[in-house]
Amino acid sequence: INHGVLYAIKLYPNAHLIHILIGTAKGAGSGIIRIFEQLIRGVWAPTHSEILRPTFTTKACVIASVLLTFEKSGIFISLPHEISYLGLLLFFVYFKLSALLLNVADPLLPFENLFCAVFMGGIWDALTRAVVASQERRNVGG
Per-run averaged pLDDT (10 residues), the chain, 142 residues: 93 93 90 81 77 86 93 83 91 88 86 84 80 86 62
Nearest-angstrom CA–CA distance, 96 and 36: 27
Nearest of 48, 50, 60 to residue 107 by alpha carbon: 60
Nearest of 12, 113, 83 to residue 20 by alpha carbon: 12
Q: What is the pLDDT of residue 90?
A: 94
Nearest-angstrom CA–CA distance, 72 and 66: 10
Element (H, E) at 76: none
Which stretches within the chain are classed as H helix?
Answer: 2-11, 16-27, 29-41, 56-73, 81-101, 109-119, 122-141
Q: What is the pLDDT of residue 130?
A: 85
Nearest-angstrom CA–CA distance, 62 and 54: 10
- Whole-model pTM: value is 0.76
* Contact criterion met (CB below 8 Å) for 34 and 49: no
Element (H, E) at 122: helix 122-141
